[in-house]
Amino acid sequence: MAIAGTTPSSPFLGHVPFHIVIGKSSFAQFTHNSLFRGSKTTVKVLLPLGEFTSIWFPQSQRFRQRSRIRATGNPSMRSAGGAIRTLLITGVSRGLGKALALELAKRGHYIIGCARSQDKLNAFQTELASSTNPPSENKHLLMSVDVSLNSSVEEFARAVMEKKGVPDIIVNCAGTINRNNKLWEVPAEEFDSVIDTNLKGTANVLRHFIPLMLEKKQGVIVNMSSGWGRSGAAQVAPYCASKWAIEGLTASVAKELPPGMAAVALNPGVIYTDMLQSCFGNSASLYQTPESWAPKAANMILNLTMADNGASLSV
């Protein structure tokens, strides 16, 4: 049996081709033709048919990219065993956070969401309830939270424990980007806003929710990174700095977690959002929408395990 496809790479370098050949043995051969070094790496891994399989390969000297492939069969659209999960997602009022929350609710999972705008949350509450399977207005918890403020996240954590308990999965999705500008022309307040939301906001969530997860000795943390957290780009230095920091923060926190838990940095890819439009202008509409991205991201997130701890992943 042979399987061919592509694995995510830099959003501007396209995709890295792979080819898998499954013989009579229980092993599959994975060949990686590197776009970066012109090299070829072959490894052997167990490949259970019909399930998602994670394969490590060296993409560059700095990073390891974990690619997810699927063999032919009937893979479940929900996590192993069909378990219902409680997922905490920051930044649920728009963009990727909103699309992901709606997709997960549609599959029957419980959503704990936060965003700064109460008006947007009120509108989203109705949309989330109608998307829920089965429809329900009381299944989820939405709160107005400013993740850049430690005190706001601390209050959020107390409310979550009182009303919903410890989440199974945390997705740090809240983010912002600076207006296109050379670094020395970015106002100090704008630079601070990017770092406070993207980096400090993630750290604040981890500070207050990891101790809760430690009591259960299980849980998955997904910190939203970017292709610009693994490469540089002109005009968006503050954003790149914040996402490179997310990669380092995640790798370090992963080393501090006990068995049974995992923290990963996830590059969502290039998606048509307000943030992308601020960078690319009208050409942002050429990329996939959050709604088309969400099913793939949900599959990936729901199938993360402790074996993924410390990985830098891409949808």
User: pLDDT tens for residues 73-110?
Assistant: 333 334 444 799 999 999 999 999 999 999 999 999 99
Q: What is the mean pLDDT of the segment spanning 178-185?
A: 98
The runs of H, that is alpha helices, within 164-289 are: 188-195, 201-216, 237-256, 274-280
Copy the structure tokens of residue 290: 């959050």
pLDDT at position 104: 97
Catalytic residue annotation: 239
Residue 22 phi, psi dihedral angles, 5° rounding: -105, 120
pLDDT given at position 20? 37
Higher local confidence (pLDDT), 240 or 21: 240
What SS3 class is residue 171? strand
Q: Take residue 89 and report the two structure tokens written for it.
A: 């997602």
Q: pTM for this one?
A: 0.77
Q: Are 141 and 164 in contact (CB under 8 A)?
A: yes
CB 20, CB 30: distance < 8 Å: yes
Rg of the chain taking only CA atoms, in angstroms: 19
CB-side neighbour CA atoms (13 Å) of 272: 10
The confidence score (pLDDT) of residue 34 equals 33
40 forms beta bridges with: 33
pLDDT for the residue 101: 98
62 pLDDT more than 70: no
Task: Please report the pLDDT score of residue 135 as a whole number.
Answer: 76
Nearest residue to 314 via CA among 6, 83, 4: 6
Cα 41 to its chain centre, rounded Å, is 27
Which of 136-173 are b and which e, b meaning 16 or more Cβ less than 10 Å from the residue's Cβ? eeebbbbbbbbbbbbebbeebbeebeeebebbbbbbbb
Assess contact for 77 and 299: CB atoms under 8 A: yes
Among 125, 124, 127, 82, CA closest to 107: 82
d(CA 28, CA 192): 47
Cα distance between residue 305 and residue 82, in whole Å: 14
Please report, rounded to a whole number, the percentage of residues in the chain having pLDDT higher than 70.
Answer: 74
Rounded mean pLDDT of the chain?
81
Residue 162 pLDDT > 80: yes
CA distance readout (Å), 21 to 8, 29, 100, 125: 20, 6, 33, 47
